[in-house]
Amino acid sequence: MRDLFLSPNFVRVWIGTLASALAMNMQYVARGLFVFGLSNSSLDLAWALLAFTLPQVFFSLPGGVLADRFPKRSIIVVSHALNAVATMVLGLMILGNSIKFIHFILFGIFNGTALALSFPSRQAIVPHVVRKDLEFSGLALNGTALNISRVAGPALAGLLIYWIAAGDQVGELAVGVVYLV
């Protein structure tokens, strides 16, 4: 396992996977808190989170097809660049107090689709950046990065929102900052 971290290419893939998954899971919490604070409706909360997660179900398979047909690195870079721009726009809309519920639906669909199209490439690139005898360990460690982010991302988002908003659970500034992270 230690040999994996001696490969600079694997380290970049692993850190990129961890960072993007952390950001995604932080957004998930911020999205939920903000939508609920905006509308005080658990139904709106459900719709906003569904808009983000459903595309991940529907577009993972097409993401795998893209990974088979196009350069994986290009797919990862383009999808994450698009996701970053959309996320920054949403964060700025929150900070500028010009956000509406429908924006969370539209950006959720866009962000969820971009993530779904990139994650198969992120997994499929691992065998290209490690030695043959380390492929399965590399895939397992890449999966571990995703699992770490599922625990750490929501916790970090909650702490960051609490710290910036001084305890106000739906502080617009705090949620906007989490989006910009």
pLDDT in tens, 74-90: 999 999 889 888 988 88
Q: What are phi and psi of 91, to 5 degrees?
A: -60, -40
- For residue 158, name the pLDDT band (cuts at 50, 70, 90): confident
Domain residue ranges in the chain: 2-180
The CATH code of the domain at 2-180 is: 1.20.1250.20
Contact 123, 13 (CB under 8 A): no
In tens, the pLDDT along 37-59 reads 889 999 999 999 999 999 999 99
Computed over every residue of the chain, the mean pLDDT equals: 89
Tell me: the pLDDT tens digits for 104-149? 999 999 999 999 999 999 999 999 999 999 999 999 999 999 999 9
Is 180's pLDDT higher than 80?
no
What pLDDT, on a 0 to 100 scale, did the predictor assign at position 13? 93
Q: Quick check: 26 pLDDT over 90? A: no
Higher pLDDT, 176 or 7: 7
pLDDT at 138: 95
Q: What is the model's pTM?
A: 0.85
| Length reported for the chain | 181
- Least trusted range by pLDDT, from 18-27, 104-113, 157-166: 157-166
Position 176 confidence tier, pLDDT thresholds 50, 70, 90: low
Q: What is the C-alpha to C-alpha distance for residues 118 and 75, in angstroms, rounded to an integer? A: 6
